[in-house]
Amino acid sequence: MTDAIMTFLHDVMTSPWVYAALLAISVIDAFFPVVPSETAVITAGVFAAAEGTPHLGLVIAAAATGAFIGDNISYQIGRAGGARIRHRTAIRWAHAAFEERGGLLLVVARYIPGGRTAVTLTTGVVRYPLHRFAFFDGIAVISWAAYSALIGYIGGAAFEDNPFKGLLLGLGIALTVTAIVEIVRYVSRRRSQPAGPDRDDPAGHPRELTNSDS
């Protein structure tokens, strides 16, 4: 089974159409996130190191270009559908958040599962300036494409004689980084929650009512 999978991947990754495939996958992943664009780029990076093809620089360029196109499509979808959203309070909050740190959100969301689609759609909904969106999204897609391809390249270089092990190493690194990001986000949210009188006590028990609560 493993040999069959690696034979299939070898045929795909050594095809001259691999760059077009990476571009297309990265486009679709922007608004249909079940398509595994990061896995595809990591796999291409593994074969770039282990087999010498595809070319690492072209892999990064194809993935970044596709991601940029897809993000702009997602932005336009959000912009077109924003008028139908009725939660004006949420829109005002999102608009303020993007005005304050929109560029950072665009870059960081690239590494959060599901964050890419949510943020690019929201930038369109709140009508975040297109020129600013394009600038920061350009930084985001280049950093993401380089990160994914280089992770795969590291795995492929470590196991040049066994691309399958290189692929497992690359995917393992990516999953570890994702887990660390999620843990940091969870801890940050917990620390940012205000400690008010209505919160439960540290042991998790509800606060008892006093006469002043009556």
pLDDT for 188 equals 67
Predicted local distance difference test score (pLDDT) of residue 214: 41
**DSSP labels, the chain:** -HHHHHHHHHHHHTSTTHHHHHHHHHHHTTTSTTS-HHHHHHHHHHHHHHTS-S-HHHHHHHHHHHHHHHHHHHHHHHHHHGGG---HHHHHHHHHHHHHHHHHHHHHHTTSTTHHHHHHHHHHHTT--HHHHHHHHHHHHHHHHHHHHHHHHHHHHHTTT-HHHHHHHHHHHHHHHHHHHHHHHHHHHHHHS---TTSPPTTSPPPPP-GGG-
Q: Looking at residue 199, what is its pLDDT?
A: 45
124-173 per-position pLDDT tens digit = 888 888 998 999 999 999 999 999 999 999 988 887 777 777 778 877 87
pLDDT of residue 88: 56
Residue entry with tokens 């249909």: 32
pLDDT at 110: 83
- Per-domain boundaries in the chain: 2-190
Q: What is the pLDDT of residue 197?
A: 47
pLDDT of residue 213: 45
Q: State the pLDDT at residue 101.
A: 64
- From the number of C-beta atoms within 10 Å of its C-beta (0-12, 13-18, 19+), residue 10 rates as middle
Neighbouring CB atoms inside 10 A of 171's CB total 18
Give the whole-angstrom CA distance, residue 58 versus residue 51.
15
- CA distance readout (Å), 81 to 84, 124, 125, 129, 135: 6, 8, 7, 16, 23
pLDDT computed for residue 65 by the predictor: 96
pTM for this structure? 0.76
In which residue ranges of the chain is pLDDT below 70? 1-6, 35, 82-102, 178, 181-182, 184-186, 188-189, 192-214
